[in-house]
Amino acid sequence: MTLRSESESRPKLPSLPKLPSLPKLPSLHEPTGKWFGRWLTAALMILLVAAAPALAAAGHPTESEQPLGFKSRLTDPHTIAGERAFYSLDYDRAVNEFKATVDAQPDNPYALNHLINAELFRELYNMGVLNTGDYADDGFVGKPHHPADPKIVEHLRTLIEHTMDVSEKRLKANANDVEALYCRGVTRGAKSTFLGLVERSWFAALRNAVGARHDHERVLELDPKFTDARLIIGVHEYVVGSLPWAVKVAASVVGEHGTREDGVKALESVMAGGSEASEDARVMLVLLYRRENRLPDAYHIVHDHLMRYYPHNMLMALEEGSLLWAMGKPQEAEPIYQRIWDSGKQGKYGSLHYELAAIGLGDLRRSQKNYAGAVEAYRWVDGVATADPELRQKAAIGMGETLHAQGQDEAARQQFRRAAEQPGGSEQASKDARVRLKELGG
């Protein structure tokens, strides 16, 4: 019996979040605004996730002497250290460094926005909503794996409103204050993510997403050279350009317009600007270049820039291997996965889930019909005491499919049962395992 499984000819993408597939068109019972709000909120979520990708954990080492890959708008030592930690996925350190800057500059909206993003994404990680697979379809609108901490939710709500008030106060004094407009737009973007993914309030999230774009459009009217303001606009343009025609009409009603080409060009201009938003633009472009089948361009960003400046960002290292595999170079990708695994065992990535490398290596070897090598890699996950339960499920499913390909169906059934019964695992992964088990008559 042949299992229904993912294609083995192309690599899975464990390292970076995918843009969500288009959800089903709204029914008569679901207002278009709610549906579009979900879609757009997911895209804005990915904009921020791009800067601090999924499955990260705090507390791993960063190198204080490592320079940033962009020019920060704030140059105090705490901000520079916080930015470095944030892009290296060390949320705890980033929060502590940004707090020190806020303590010294309590009314600086740039400093406050840095703190919002670090605290927000630390909590989203703890909630389990940064897992890459959640954004492959409309599943991100469901419940998070873990509820948010009520105290942290209230703290974030207060911090976001305070930051909005700081910018609003400046705008009341001068409605054309470009810096205040820009900062308010950034805060609105973060608030949209908070409302959508923490409070599950999609209409409010949509209003803030649209408000963020309008603020940044006004920034560009006042100062066309303020390239960082093109970041949110570019994401919106790409998202709207990817929508079906009927939904584009609905999007235009709430002020959203654009094409995929315009979105990519806007992000490329932000990247070329070299200022604070350029790093976010780079990682977004890696995602979009994948979607546009511009794999060499995506690889160039990862290999030549992101890995150079953020060597502790394990997910970028995984993306390098994934891109090589997608470009038809599995022989070059395999040693990268192996190196990430070895570095993780040696503690280079701290508490990051380096078992992702074992799964990626197993998937790659399976695609090359190196079944013994694939089983070996999947089994490595069992040796990681702190392995994420969902990753344990993925390794078990991968091993089960490999064993089935070798004709070892009873051993395959054991792995699928194990994945289906994994404590603390993903409901979707459990469902997938049960489907495979049923197909094998288990």
Q: Give pLDDT tens digits for 324-333.
A: 999 999 999 9
Of 14-18, 126-130, 256-260, 278-282, which has the strongest mean pLDDT? 278-282
Q: Is 221 a residue whose pLDDT tops 90?
A: yes
Measured distance CA(141)–CA(414) in Å, rounded: 32
pLDDT tier at 130 (50, 70, 90 boundaries)? Answer: low
Tokens of 194: 């908070």
Band of residue 105 on the pLDDT scale cut at 50, 70, 90: very high
Query: What pLDDT score does 84 carry?
Result: 86
pLDDT band at 19 (very low <50, low <70, confident <90, very high): very low
Does residue 382 have a pLDDT over 90?
yes
Backbone angles phi, psi at 312, to 5 degrees: -90, 0
pLDDT above 70 coverage of the chain, percent = 78
What pLDDT is attached to residue 144?
A: 56
SS3 string of 372-401?
HHHHHHHHHHHHCCCCCHHHHHHHHHHHHH
The reply to whether the predicted model has a pTM over 0.75 is: yes
Quick one: average pLDDT of 364-376? Answer: 97
Give me the helices (H) in 274-346, please: 278-291, 295-301, 307-309, 314-326, 330-345
Query: pLDDT-based confidence at 320, cuts 50/70/90?
Result: very high
Closest CA to 230 of 217, 239, 242, 241: 217
pLDDT level of residue 253 (50, 70, 90 thresholds): low
- 24-63 confidence digits (pLDDT tens): 333 333 444 444 555 555 554 544 444 344 333 333 444 5
- Give the model's pLDDT for residue 27: 38
Contact indicator for 186, 212 with CB cutoff of 8 Å: yes
For residue 374, pLDDT over 70 is answered with yes
Question: How crowded is residue 83: how many other Cβ atoms within 10 Å of its Cβ?
Answer: 23
3-state secondary structure of 152: helix
CA angle 46, 51, 54 (to 5 degrees): 65
Average pLDDT for 407-432? 94
Binning pLDDT at 50, 70 and 90, where does residue 68 land? low
Would you state the pLDDT for residue 257? 76
Fold (CATH) for 1-11+313-442 = 1.25.40
The per-residue pLDDT for range 384-419, each reduced to its tens digit, is 999 989 899 999 999 999 999 999 999 999 999 999
Domain ranges for the chain = 1-11+313-442, 31-311
Does the 31-311 domain belong in CATH 3.10.20.30? no
DSSP 3-state assignment of 345?
A: helix
SS3 300: helix
Q: Note whether 1-11+313-442 and 31-311 share their fold.
A: yes
pLDDT of residue 211: 92
